[in-house]
Amino acid sequence: MIARASQHGWEHSVAEIAGYMGHATTNSGAFRAKLAALRDYGLISGRGEFLEITQIGRKVAIPETSEERVTALQEAFANTAFGPLYQESVKGSPISIESIGRRAVNRLGVAPASQGQFGEVFARSVVAARLAETTGDGKITLMTKPQTRQSDEENPESVGRMAGESRPTLGQPSDPPSPRPVVNQNWPLPDGEVRLTIAVARPLSAADFASIGSVVAQIEMLVAGLTGGESHA
């Protein structure tokens, strides 16, 4: 979302931010949770009707170099409660994601019912910051130095500057990128999932995302019906 919004400037209304996220309104709990996360990571600032992408957010979205983006990701990671927890954790040996959640309950006052979710989000965040590797068995290995990954330049869904794209100059045309997903959201179901993917070769406008938000609202109604219908089957 930060990368898409940055294509249109550094300052945006709350409604525009919601549109970039695929939400039709600014009142939903899901949108508020995402907005709070962006604040926690230090990627946006402002408390009124307009929000600004911070210097950290700009470096994540449109970095001069891959190293600058990694540094910004680590700074964003350190802005949260995850930073101190990472610092005091064992490095170089696999540790369970579950144990991280338990430690958050004891050290940070996280509610016991949320410890599993905390551990999962911590794991995704520390890997995104290039400070850990996953082992695929419910464990991660924390590193003391950033881990470089070739897949970042090969994966078309990488956040920030995408594969093959040079740093854009606002207001100046650039070579059109190949179509890639700009919206890729899924809603899990007990026996499957509903997925919305939109791939275009140009940045979408705030109006485009507002329209997408209307579609998302209908999908959420569908998902609620499918999920609720299961109990009557």
DSSP code per residue over 103-145: HHHHHH---GGGHHHHHHHHHHHHHHTTSEEE-SSSEEEE-SS
Mean pLDDT over each residue of the chain, to the nearest integer = 78
203 has a pLDDT exceeding 80: no
Q: According to the model, what pLDDT value does residue 58 have?
A: 93
Q: What percent of the chain has pLDDT over 90?
A: 32
* Token code pair at residue 16: 């525009």
CB 197 within 8 A of CB 22: no
The CATH fold assigned to 64-159 is Arc Repressor Mutant, subunit A (1.10.10)
Q: What are phi and psi of 158, to 5 degrees?
A: -60, 140
- The answer to whether the predicted template modeling score (pTM) of the entire model surpasses 0.85 is no
pLDDT band, residue 149 (cuts 50/70/90): very low
Q: Distance between the two ends of the chain, CA-based, in angstroms?
A: 38
d(CA 8, CA 178): 19
Q: According to the model, what pLDDT value does residue 160 have?
A: 37
Q: What are phi and psi of 181, to 5 degrees?
A: -60, 125
Measured in residues, the chain has a length of 233
Q: HSE (CB half, 13 Å, CA atoms) of 71? A: 10
d(CA 124, CA 38): 15
Q: What is the mean pLDDT of residues 4-15?
A: 89
Q: What is the mean pLDDT of residues 138-154?
A: 63
* Token code pair at residue 164: 């093959």
Q: Which residues contact 55 (CB under 8 A, 6 or more apart)?
A: none
CB 129 within 8 A of CB 144: no
Instruction: Write the Ramachandran bin of 154: left for phi over 0, alpha for psi from -120 to 50, otherwise beta.
Output: alpha
CB 25 within 8 A of CB 18: yes
Query: What is the DSSP pairing of strand 94-96 with strand 11-13?
Result: unpaired
pLDDT digits 0-9 by tens, 91-107: 999 999 999 999 999 88
Q: What is the mean pLDDT of residues 172-184?
A: 49
Decide which of 196 and 153 is more confident: 196
Helix (H) or strand (E) holding 202: none
pLDDT digits 0-9 by tens, 45-91: 987 889 999 999 999 998 988 899 999 999 999 988 899 899 989 99
* Token code pair at residue 84: 């101190």
